[in-house]
Amino acid sequence: NAGVMQNPRHLVRRRGQEARLRCSPMKGHSHVYWYRQLPEEGLKFMVYLQKENIIDESGMPKERFSAEFPKEGPSILRIQQVVRGDSAAYFCASSPELAGTFTDTQYFGPGTRLTVL
């Protein structure tokens, strides 16, 4: 049973370019979460998605960042016009279908390390 897949593992972009980070959840998981980890810090929540729906984007910067989880294919975190401050590790997590208000464990992918030159 494959875990959460993220690609690329490392991504280098120049200022002003676009970065696209991909996440395929674990088999059977329909909930995807994106987190950002700045150097020497813990993970900070960005967005929570289900198939074709953004459920909670309270942690997403208001500009340049967007996320989607289409009916088919991986979830995408897109950062437009990247700046040096976007350099971080971006982690995707997935969890199974929630039963009522039950909060399930989130399983994390290996992360994408974005470096903006």
Partner 1 sequence: AQKVTQAQTEISVVEKEDVTLDCVYETRDTTYYLFWYKQPPSGELVFLIRRNSFDEQNEISGRYSWNFQKSTSSFNFTITASQVVDSAVYFCALSSNTGNQFYFGTGTSLTVIP
CB closer to partner 1, 66 vs 108: 108
113 is a site residue for partner 1 (CB under 8 A): yes
Whichever of 17 and 54 has its CB closer to partner 1, that residue is: 54
| Interacting residues with partner 1 between 10 and 39 (CB under 8 A) | 33, 35
* Residue ranges with strand state E in 16-87: 19-24, 29-37, 43-50, 53-56, 65-68, 75-79
DSSP assigned state of 85: G
- The edge-to-edge listing of strands for the beta sheet with 5-7 is 5-7, 19-24, 75-79, 65-68
For residues 46 to 75, the per-residue mask of contacts with partner 1, x marking binding by CB under 8 A and - elsewhere, is: --x------xx-xx----------------
